[in-house]
Homo-oligomer: A and B are copies of this chain.
Amino acid sequence: MARPRTATRTVEHPDPSEVSLQQVLEALVDPVRRMVVSQLARAGEDKSCGTFDAPVSLSTLTHHFNVLREAGVIRQYYVGTTKMNALRTDEMEQRFPGLLSAVLAAALAKESGSTAGGN
């Protein structure tokens, strides 16, 4: 111990009541971050940072995870050397009813490129 510089690495998360609409929208407006959220939603289970498919470097991805976490969109926790990510769907739904689900629905619909109409 001795104030283990390694407190098993805890991660700070905001209470939903502390995040603003502005924060959430800023988090979701970035395409890469939306990819992350979409993949998380589609997976249906927690994913480690390294398992995401995004067209940016790992360090950039870390940045995006931070933004998402600070906006209350995802929850992160360590498991050994890997860091897991989970969607805070329920809490978001409480704080901003319909918001995350609407974005997610639109993002996923686009991915599966169902109908035409384009992007």
Contacts and interface: CB of A to CB of B under 8 A. Distances in A.
Contact of A102 (B96, B110, B119): B96
Interface residues of A, number: 25
A18 interface: yes
Interface string A71-109: 000000000000000000000000011110111011100
Given A18-B117, A29-B26, A117-B18, A105 B98 contact: yes
B103 A97 contact: no
Contacts of A98: 98, 101-102, 105
Nearest to A116: B17
Interface of A: 17-18, 20-22, 25-26, 28-29, 31, 34, 96-99, 101-103, 105-107, 110, 117-119
22 contacts: A17-B117, A17-B118, A18-B117, A20-B119, A21-B103, A21-B110, A22-B29, A22-B31, A25-B25, A25-B29, A25-B103, A26-B29, A29-B29, A96-B102, A96-B106, A97-B102, A97-B105, A98-B98, A98-B102, A98-B105, A99-B103, A99-B106
